A and B are shown apart, each in its own frame.
Chain A
Amino acid sequence: QKEVEQDPGPLSVPEGAIVSLNCTYSNSAFQYFMWYRQYSRKGPELLMYTYSSGNKEDGRFTAQVDKSSKYISLFIRDSQPSDSATYLCAMSPMDSNYQLIWGAGTKLIIKP
């Protein structure tokens, strides 16, 4: 079993819908949680960064961390076709990029 599990999708939703993307993990030592967006043939781009539990909001994006359930979520409100991409979760026990454990990514398709 992988340390970080993420449904590969694809997840297809109509424009304007609320999107929910999720990851589960097994290592209770993880403290730092990130969501990256990756367009085809591009490098990942950091969207959200959260330490420990709780919610964080940035524009149309909200990240949630539930450490008791070992479950993290990314919500996208008012989804746009430009949001179509692969979304990767990543997490680490420490604030260090080289110790990140990545999910496999969920492919998201927003239909106009």
Chain B
Amino acid sequence: DTGVSQDPRHKITKRGQNVTFRCDPISEHNRLYWYRQTLGQGPEFLTYFQNEAQLEKSRLLSDRFSAERPKGSFSTLEIQRTEQGDSAMYLCASSQRGVGTEAFFGQGTRLTVV
């Protein structure tokens, strides 16, 4: 399968713990995006990479969130000191550079903070 892959699919953690999610984009895609989606809402942009450079970061993203994309391949999203409000689906998407490009989404990581 050559789609966007996310791991894990589900994560249950206790409040205050740190969690890390991984995203493997489509191999020839140089753009990678992280979104967060809560029930009954559309995705909310978190951050964007072009190759290994993090070019955009939502002002809604607190300091507890950090993302990396070493070597411009896979990406990780870490949430430190999780809070119940962090419970959501975390979506990763990738796209090629250019006009009118389509972003392909992974199946998401569902985080539940208890």
List A residues at the B interface (Cβ < 8 Å): 4, 8, 41-46, 49, 51, 88, 90, 95, 97-100, 102-105
B91 touches A43 (CB 8 A): yes
B55-97 vs A, CB cutoff 8 Å, 1 = contact: the mask equals 0100000000000000000000000000000000001010100
A43 CA / B93 CA spacing, docked (Å)? 9
Q: Smallest Cβ distance from B21 to chain A, in angstroms?
A: 13
B108 touches A43 (CB 8 A): yes
Q: A46-B103, A88-B42, A100-B45 are in contact. List 13 more A-B contacts (CB 8 A).
A: A42-B107, A43-B4, A43-B91, A44-B91, A46-B104, A49-B100, A95-B101, A97-B93, A97-B101, A98-B48, A102-B43, A103-B42, A105-B42
Chain B residues within 8 Å of A45, by CB: 105
Chain A residues within 8 Å of B100, by CB: 49, 51, 95
A95 CA / B45 CA spacing, docked (Å)? 15
A43 touches B105 (CB 8 A): yes
Task: Sample 9 A-B pairs with CB under 8 A, ordered by A number.
Answer: A41-B110, A42-B107, A43-B91, A49-B102, A95-B99, A95-B100, A97-B93, A99-B45, A105-B40
